[in-house]
Chains A and B, each alone.
Chain A
Amino acid sequence: MNKQLKEKIAFSILTFTMLLVVVPTVLIIGFIVYKGIGTISWEFLTAMPRKGMTEGGIFPAIVGTLYLVLGTIAFALPLGIGSAIYLTEYATHGKLYKLIRLAILNLAGVPSVVYGLFGLGLFVLFLGFGSSLLAGALTLACLILPVIITASEEALKSVPQSYREASLALGATKWQTIQNVVLPHAMPGIVTGAILGIGRAAGETAPILLTVAAFFLPRLPKSFFDQAMALPYHLYIVSTQVPNMPEEIKYGVALVLLGIVGIFFAIATAIRIKFKMANRA
């Protein structure tokens, strides 16, 4: 067999493997949109569920997810940015640095259900928050922390060293330099990381199953110590736990969840592409 033929066959196989990944992904998105779009209406998005969730809307689940995500990011963002600043601006590459690296690596690999166990043990029971938005947000914050740290670190590292030197040479202190020069330049990268983290938090189910979720609660949470419904858990419930659930509602919930995650993803991707282009220009 000659070289060209061999290469052609090999490249066809590689192209085929690529299609085996891309086609199912596109089909998954297309299928959910196609089946779910008919269910989406103003009422579905803003009404309370009725008749054991088989009728009405999913408003409390949407609100619950938004509260959860806001709480999560409120905890995770300062911690994550602070960690990244320490790692890029202050840390010497000694033992502590290695230990922190190892910890971040491990956090990124801990299964989400283990975060759930941890949240249940620490926040729900030990600290006495009960099954609540607060316990869920804290648990999810731990889960997305590695995403935020890694993204912020990349962003801080990409700020040219000369910017820091110029600021220091003008008499600014280290913190003034970070605050006024480094952070503003790293902002797009940090924001991208935060949005990706939000998307991740919005879709997680196992941790909130153990720390927040209410099966059916047709009212809005009153405080951060309240239980709440949440979209991913709601999808799990309607697709496995409730008999005779109308198909449209299941697809509707799936589409809303995928839509929310998709919007965050699209924003993050747009920011990244814009800044890649700007950097190239």
Chain B
Amino acid sequence: MKEATVDIREIKHRKSLKKGVKHRMGEVLIENIILLLGITSVVIVSLIFLFLFRSGIALFNDITLKEFLFGRYWYPISTNAQFGIVPLVAGSVMVTLGAIFISVPIGIGCAIYIAEVAPPNIKTGLKIIIEFLSAIPSVVLGFLGIVVLSNWVRITFSLSSGFTVLTGSILVSLMALPTIISISDDAINALPKEYREASLALGASKWETIRYVLVPAASSGIIAAVMLGIGRAIGETMAVMMVTGNAARIPDSFLVSGRTMTATIAAEMGDTVRNGTHYHALFAVGIVLLMMTTCINIVADFVLSRAKKEGK
């Protein structure tokens, strides 16, 4: 009788031990799955680079790197096809410059207003409106660009066509603004309270505090905000494609038609032959675009993390 109870106890004990092992194995399994999920983003970034390069590099079987990077003509479908990226880069740079010229002063001003001047009760409302601006699909802005903005540009500058680099810049500035505002606002908010208090206690007015203390102290964050805004502007596709007129030549002013790298990829991919020269050329344009935005993002992140360290 006594032996039997021991047996039962032992069996129970063994069972629970087994359960423990199972449990631990479960934990290990889960831990490994989570690790796999954790590196998804690394895998995706690697795949993006891999697949862009895989198709883009093939272009250089047909033309030289020099012809691509320094070629001044983009004539993809003429009999004597030319794939010079210069006009496309020029188009992207012009649209982005215009957009930044508009959105930087407005964006920084708006961020300072929200962080320092706005009464608390309208602050939340303002932030929601600005977030919604960033949520508006770019194709909707492009549509408004066609039906409203291009007419306004045409009439205001008495042009024959309103589809210009400037029209694109105005639309893209709307898309870069939320980025610039929210990151600048964060940078100003992250400043220690003492900065403000010390300056005010020394008799400076609120404006003097903003101008001589807060903005200089938050300058790294504001610079990063502008850079991320530039990254956003270069990558913008639909709105730009719909309103800049898409003439693939180097624009000599803001009031003529231009064509960006993004618009070229989106507009021409449908007409290409899979694995033809044109197809590879569009992937090569994608590589240039990806390199530009990657550099901008990495530098911006570096500036931001340095700003954070300084703040501490």
Are A and B a genuine interacting pair, yes or no? Answer: yes
Q: Interface on A for B, CB 8 Å cutoff?
A: 3-4, 6-7, 10-11, 13-18, 20-22, 24-26, 28-29, 31-32, 78-79, 81-83, 85-87, 89-91, 96, 99-100, 102-118, 120-122, 125-126, 142, 145-146, 149, 173-175, 196, 199-200, 202-206, 209-210, 232-233, 235-236, 239-240, 247, 250, 254, 257-258, 261-262, 265, 269, 273
Smallest CB separation, B151 vs chain A (Å): 13
Chain B positions within 8 Å of A4 at CB level:
205
Task: Judge whether B42 and A103 touch: CB under 8 Å.
Answer: yes
**Any A CB within 8 A of the CB of B39:** yes
Task: Judge whether B41 and A107 touch: CB under 8 Å.
Answer: yes
Chain A positions within 8 Å of B283 at CB level:
117, 121
**Any A CB within 8 A of the CB of B48:** yes
Chain B positions within 8 Å of A118 at CB level:
47-48, 51-52
4 further A-B pairs in the complex, CB-CB below 8 A; given A11-B207, A117-B52, A121-B55: A173-B23, A199-B135, A206-B262, A209-B269
User: Binary interface profile of B, 54-87, with partner A (CB < 8 Å = 1, else 0)?
Assistant: 1100000000000000000000000000000000
Complex CA distance for A103 and B128, rounded to whole angstroms:
28
Of B8-16, B186-194, B289-297, which stretch is located at the interface?
Answer: B289-297
Chain B positions within 8 Å of A205 at CB level:
137-139, 237-238
Chain B positions within 8 Å of A104 at CB level:
41
Chain B positions within 8 Å of A247 at CB level:
147
Q: Interface on B for A, CB 8 Å cutoff?
A: 23, 26-27, 30-31, 33-42, 44-45, 47-48, 51-52, 54-55, 105-110, 112-114, 117-118, 124, 126, 128-133, 135-144, 146-148, 174, 177, 181, 205-208, 210-211, 228, 231, 234-238, 242, 262, 265-266, 269-270, 274, 282-283, 286, 289-290, 293-294, 296-298, 301
* Chain B interface helix/strand/loop/mixed: helix
Complex CA distance for A173 and B140, rounded to whole angstroms:
49
Q: Tell me the nearest residue of chain A to B44, going by C-beta.
A: A142
Smallest CB separation, A124 vs chain B (Å): 10
Complex CA distance for A7 and B128, rounded to whole angstroms:
27
Complex CA distance for A14 and B290, rounded to whole angstroms:
35
Task: Judge whether A82 and B33 touch: CB under 8 Å.
Answer: yes
Chain A positions within 8 Å of B141 at CB level:
28
When A24-B174, A203-B138 are in contact, do A18 and B51 touch as well, CB less than 8 Å? no
Task: Judge whether B133 and A21 touch: CB under 8 Å.
Answer: yes
Task: Judge whether A100 and B266 touch: CB under 8 Å.
Answer: no
Chain A positions within 8 Å of B289 at CB level:
111, 113-114
7 closest cross-chain pairs (CB), A and B: A82-B37, A111-B235, A86-B38, A203-B137, A17-B109, A109-B297, A121-B51
Smallest CB separation, A255 vs chain B (Å): 9
Most B CB contacts (10 A, CB to CB) among A3, A6, A79, A113 go to A113
Smallest CB separation, B89 vs chain A (Å): 14
Most A CB contacts (10 A, CB to CB) among B47, B109, B231 go to B109
When A18-B114, A173-B23 are in contact, do A239 and B109 touch as well, CB less than 8 Å? no
CB within 8 A of B129: which of A25, A32, A83, A90?
A25
Please name 28 pairs of A and B residues whose Cβ atoms are closer than 8 Å in the assembled complex, sorted by A. Answer: A7-B208, A11-B117, A15-B113, A17-B107, A21-B177, A25-B133, A25-B174, A31-B148, A82-B33, A90-B34, A105-B301, A109-B294, A109-B296, A111-B234, A114-B286, A116-B266, A121-B51, A125-B274, A145-B44, A206-B238, A210-B266, A233-B139, A235-B139, A239-B143, A254-B140, A257-B140, A265-B131, A269-B131
CB within 8 A of A209: which of B207, B208, B266?
B266
Task: Judge whether A126 and B138 touch: CB under 8 Å.
Answer: no
Smallest CB separation, B148 vs chain A (Å): 7
Chain A positions within 8 Å of B105 at CB level:
17
When A21-B133, A109-B231, A206-B237 are in contact, do A239 and B146 touch as well, CB less than 8 Å? yes
Chain A positions within 8 Å of B41 at CB level:
83, 100, 103-104, 107, 145-146, 149
Task: Judge whether A122 and B37 touch: CB under 8 Å.
Answer: no
Chain B positions within 8 Å of A200 at CB level:
135
Q: Tell me the nearest residue of chain A to B26, going by C-beta.
A: A175
Task: Judge whether A111 and B132 touch: CB under 8 Å.
Answer: no
Chain B positions within 8 Å of A29 at CB level:
132, 136
Complex CA distance for A266 and B133, rounded to whole angstroms:
13
Task: Judge whether A18 and B135 touch: CB under 8 Å.
Answer: no
Task: Judge whether B113 and A17 touch: CB under 8 Å.
Answer: yes
Smallest CB separation, B246 vs chain A (Å): 10
Task: Judge whether A261 and B137 touch: CB under 8 Å.
Answer: yes
Task: Judge whether A103 and B45 touch: CB under 8 Å.
Answer: yes
Task: Judge whether B146 and A240 touch: CB under 8 Å.
Answer: yes
Chain A positions within 8 Å of B270 at CB level:
209
Chain B positions within 8 Å of A126 at CB level:
51
Smallest CB separation, B165 vs chain A (Å): 18
Chain A positions within 8 Å of B54 at CB level:
121
Task: Judge whether B48 and A113 touch: CB under 8 Å.
Answer: no
